[in-house]
A and B are shown apart, each in its own frame.
Chain A
Amino acid sequence: MHPSLKTDRNKGIGNIFEIVYIYIFIYIIFMHISDGIIDTNVCIAAGAVSIGLVYISGRKATVDEIPTMGMMGAALFVASLIHFPLAGTSMHLGLFGIAGIILGKRSFPPVFAALLFQSLIFQHGGLVTLGVNSLNMGAGAFAGWLIWRTKFMNENIRALLAGFLGIIIPVLLMSVEFRLSGYGRGIIYLLSVYVIAAVVESIITLGAVRFIRRVKPALLP
């Protein structure tokens, strides 16, 4: 970039071109950051945090919790194969909110394992970025759990919020990671765009919680 151009700043946030490309970008790229896209130092730092969280989250897991963790990981993996159309493109279910509700603080290991599977089998996300992706999505599940355990709200509202945060928190973290990797400020639009997806996910989470409450209430803490 020529130094003389740096003084000529365009702050036209409402530009149509800007909004259109950001929307296309965000819808397609969301969640699965492939290898080589973000800075290696960011990957290493996020990977270290992610491994620590997997250790803390899985520490002292009981025998009864292991099949639920395995099944939740498999469900997250299968859910990622179910695509539905949204605003001219397709997106898949995340289920991080419901994972957080069911698994609580044990959410990180299944999310990590599910992303390892997605990376190896479908190349959705990479090996080096596995830590970044796990951190983003595990944090979404963790936020879902934190909301769920606050008992002063109605259960339905908590389910809606858990589903909503299950998408918004990963998006927030991803926008920070892209900014740290040198991408421009347009990435902050992630939040505004992904509100639609977060609303869809929160409705699905509410439906799932109500169904589980009716059919197998022991699953819900």
Chain B
Amino acid sequence: MKHSFLDKYSNLNSPVHRLDPRVKTITALCLIVIIVSEARGEIFPFLFYIPLVAIIAGVSRIPWSYIIKRCLIVSPFILLAALFYPLSQMLTQGYHSLGAYSHEFMVGLSVILKAYSALILLILLTSTEKFHNILLGLRKLKMPKLIGVISALMYRYVFLIHDEILRTNLARESRCPGSLKMSRFKVYGNQAAMIFVRSLERSHILYSSMLSRGFNGEFPSMRKFSLKGTDLLIPGAIILMVLTIRLTSQNIHNYLFN
């Protein structure tokens, strides 16, 4: 089954692609935490963060069209959350001229900048590595064993469910051909429930066969993770740089503008 929609550009060759998945995950998480922990209404530090994120995206060779498309999907969530902040203050404090709410709009703008920076970093993390390698990396990073096993099984079961959807679609089409109609709600409802029940049965059979072959919660992988000094050097430097910006941006701002 072809399922490249999960990690479409993971086969490209770039310095970001070559990084160890564990390093990539930790770097992305650190950068996101540092960026989103910026104080509300802070805009100045993003003059450094956004070019940095753009440089990482450029180095990764992931097409900008793809990144923008992924951002657009999530944009309504972000833009409305940002817009909601000043609007909720207006409702609480009464309607006045927009200038009276300049701080609230700056908070909204900072929400947008934070959210898009974090979003692009997340897109880069998942686009530059095979998804199962990210999961494997998370397991190597001592993610709780139960979550690790459930995630690994889920990844396989998603395709199992997809298989069942294709099968039951074929069966439904052969019995009642035609386009989707709301009047057939019961048919679709039964199909959805049948997909779940059949997938669940198959998952139990698969899991029993895994256990009978000695499965002990570990998923053996051909991929050997090896960390080199250079793997840590550049991500470490980037984290340090972002942390320095985070801690000193207020002083730089005061120095430049006051």
Interface residues of A (CB under 8 A from B): 1-2, 5-6, 8-10, 15, 18, 21, 24-25, 28-29, 32-37, 39-40, 43, 54-55, 58, 61, 63, 66-71, 73-75, 77-78, 109-110, 112-114, 116-117, 119-124, 126-128, 182-187, 204, 207-208, 211-212, 215-216, 219
A155 CA / B50 CA spacing, docked (Å)? 54
The CA of A26 and the CA of B131, in the complex, are separated in Å by 31
Question: At the interface, yes or no: B60 with Cβ under 8 Å from chain A?
Answer: no
Least Cβ distance of A1 to chain B in Å?
A: 6
Interface CB pairs A-B, < 8 A, 10: A40-B33, A54-B147, A71-B199, A74-B154, A112-B147, A117-B155, A126-B115, A182-B40, A185-B92, A215-B194
A interface, over-half SS: helix
Question: Smallest CB-CB separation from B76: which chain A residue?
Answer: A28
| B193 in contact with A212 (CB, 8 Å) | yes
Q: Is the CB of A215 within 8 A of B197?
A: yes
A45 to chain B, nearest CB (A): 14
- How many contacting A-B pairs (Cβ < 8 A)? 228
Contact A68 B154 (CB under 8 A): no
B78-118 residues at the A interface, CB under 8 angstroms:
78, 80-85, 87-96, 100-101, 103-104, 107, 111, 113-115, 117-118
A109, B146: Cβ atoms closer than 8 Å: yes
Closest CB-CB distance, A138 to chain B, in whole Å? Answer: 13
- Which of B89, B91, B193, B196 is A1 in contact with, Cβ under 8 Å? B89
Contact residues in A for B141 (Cβ distance below 8 Å): none
**Chain B residues, CB < 8 A from A70:** 149-150, 153-154, 157, 203, 207
Which residues between 170 and 198 of chain B lie within 8 Å of chain A, taking CB atoms?
189-190, 193-194, 196-197
CB contact under 8 A between A78 and B92, given known A34-B81, A70-B149: no
8 A-B pairs closest in CB distance: A184-B88, A36-B114, A70-B153, A35-B118, A74-B157, A67-B207, A36-B115, A10-B94
CB distance from B93 to the nearest CB of A (A): 6
Contact check, B115 vs A35: say whether CB atoms are below 8 A apart.
yes
Q: Is the CB of B126 within 8 A of A219?
A: no
Q: How far is B147's CA from A55's CA once the two chains are assembled, in angstroms? A: 9
Give CA–CA (A127, B73) in the complex, Å: 17
Interface centre among A54, A63, A77, A113 (most CB of B within 10 A): A113
B190 near A211 with CB under 8 A, answer yes
B140 to chain A, nearest CB (A): 16
A71 touching B157 by the CB < 8 A rule?
yes
Is B227 at the interface (CB under 8 A from chain A)?
A: no
- B70 x A123 contact (CB < 8 A): yes
